[in-house]
Amino acid sequence: MKSCLRTLLGLAFAGLALGAAAQSPPPSAPASAPAAQAGAAPVVSASARRLYERSKGQLLQIRTLLKTQDSQASVGSGFLVSDDGHVVTNYHVISQFALEPDSYRLRYATTDGQGGALELLDFDARRDLALLRAVDDGKGAGLKGRGALAFRPQTQPLAKGERIYSMGNPHDVAFAVVEGNYNGLVERSFDPLIYYAGGINPGMSGGPVLDEDGFVVGVNVSTMLFAQQVSFLVPGEFAAALVQRSLAAKPIRTAAWSRLRDQLTKYQDELVTRFVAQPWESANHARYRLPVPKQDFMRCWGRSTAADTKGLDFERSQCRMDHAIFVGGNLQTGWLDMSHEAYDGEKLGALRFARQYSGSFRNERLGSSDKSRTAPHCKEQFVDRAGLPLRAVVCLRAYRKLEGLHDVSILVTTVDAATQGALGRFDARGVSFDNALKLAAHYLEGFAWTSTKAK
């Protein structure tokens, strides 16, 4: 089985050409996105006012500007973490500069109207964090001597329901503080994220979130789309770790694609290793064993046709990771998505069932060539899974500027019965060739018989 699969994948992936390109739209929008939805800011309390007055000297707006003019390409927030002008923000706030430093530049603005240039020292794309430093202009200006915000010690964890305070510059309107509550870590998230019951608006990304004593507990990062007061923070410990290891780093002067690739490569190794180590759970189908993942870091939803339907009966399940890794522009990667549909066409008859069943298989979209990835290279083959015949199509798209990383899509359909069948799809974004092999083998091994009685 695995030998057959390696041949199938090898043919599908052979001769893949890589070219130069920029960023492109994501394959699918995750449940959360950088820079959150707009919302009305609540009236702040005395505690919020006190904390803002105490920390506003270390609060910044971070702007990415075109190299040759003052037009801004993106706006976010940040905060000082050293008395020498080191600044923490989100990676997605400065990603354009990190990947295209010849086209963009970074500037900061303080709450009291000062401004200046910034340089990039390091970033952690997995945690969506970046470390910057104010450029010394030789005239005594800059951010030195303004103080720094300190991180809350990990030995003092917050309790669910404690008040915390998010700061930033929403919508490039004005610096602001938003009250909310700490609600623990997001369940079924691959990496730790804080669930913040408060509103984070566009422009606040990268700003600090403080406890009642003024310590940083997290960094604004994203919000759940189409939800109220459901926002996410990067735990402060990851920002503190980035500061500790990169405080003395030299500025990054050239496009950081290779650094980004190395980080994504390390991440996908960990993701795939953990995923394939998990056994498949049952979809409870009467005829087929269909692969359903454990929901340790994925969420699954399902639906089915009404019991009195007169046409094709089906059950559908979809499982996916909630969060992805931001690359740049509209491109996100580093996530898994899978689904299956089980069909019963006894009411239609064999001919009409075959027409609709094959149509569902043909309608699957596999992407096309764009600025970020090559066109899909696909191979189709029939595979025997312990007597269950499967039709499998494996497709690979290579990232143009992240050498060695690919998107892999696997389509599988059963071909054993005249009026019954199951169609499955598995997608992994940003994986190596070897890990694409592992994922495809693991996915196909999830298909088997439950019952061999055909209709």
Question: In this structure, what CATH number is given to the domain that contains residue 116?
Answer: 2.40.10.120
Note whether 393 and 323 are same-domain residues.
yes
Note whether 338 and 206 are same-domain residues.
no
Phi and psi angles of residue 56, each rounded to the nearest 5 degrees, phi first: -65, -25
| Residue 49 located in a structural domain | yes
| Residue 364 located in a structural domain | yes
Asked whether the predicted pLDDT for residue 398 surpasses 80, the reply is yes
| Residue 380 located in a structural domain | yes
C-beta of residue 440 within 8 angstroms of C-beta of residue 394 = yes
The average pLDDT across 296-319 equals 84
C-beta of residue 259 within 8 angstroms of C-beta of residue 91 = no
The three-state secondary structure class of 99 is helix
* Residue-wise pLDDT tens digits, 369-397: 999 999 999 999 999 998 899 999 999 99
The average pLDDT across 332-339 equals 96
Asked whether the predicted pLDDT for residue 359 surpasses 90, the reply is no
| Residue 375 located in a structural domain | yes
Note whether 223 and 342 are same-domain residues.
no
Note whether 39 and 184 are same-domain residues.
yes
Of 226, 255, 284, which closes a domain? 255
Note whether 326 and 212 are same-domain residues.
no
Interatomic CA distance for residues 14 and 5, integer angstroms: 14
Of 230, 255, 280, which closes a domain? 255
Note whether 269 and 230 are same-domain residues.
no
Interatomic CA distance for residues 364 and 361, integer angstroms: 6
| Residue 221 located in a structural domain | yes
DSSP secondary structure code for residue 399 in this structure: B
Note whether 218 and 350 are same-domain residues.
no
Asked whether the predicted pLDDT for residue 366 surpasses 50, the reply is yes
- The residue length of the chain stands at 455
> pTM for this structure?
0.88
Asked whether the predicted pLDDT for residue 186 surpasses 90, the reply is yes
* Count of domains for the chain: 2
The average pLDDT across 44-70 equals 93
Note whether 201 and 305 are same-domain residues.
no
Of 255, 290, 311, which closes a domain? 255
C-beta of residue 79 within 8 angstroms of C-beta of residue 129 = no
**Domain of residue 201, residue span:** 32-255
The average pLDDT across 59-85 equals 94
Asked whether the predicted pLDDT for residue 34 surpasses 80, the reply is no
| Residue 454 located in a structural domain | no
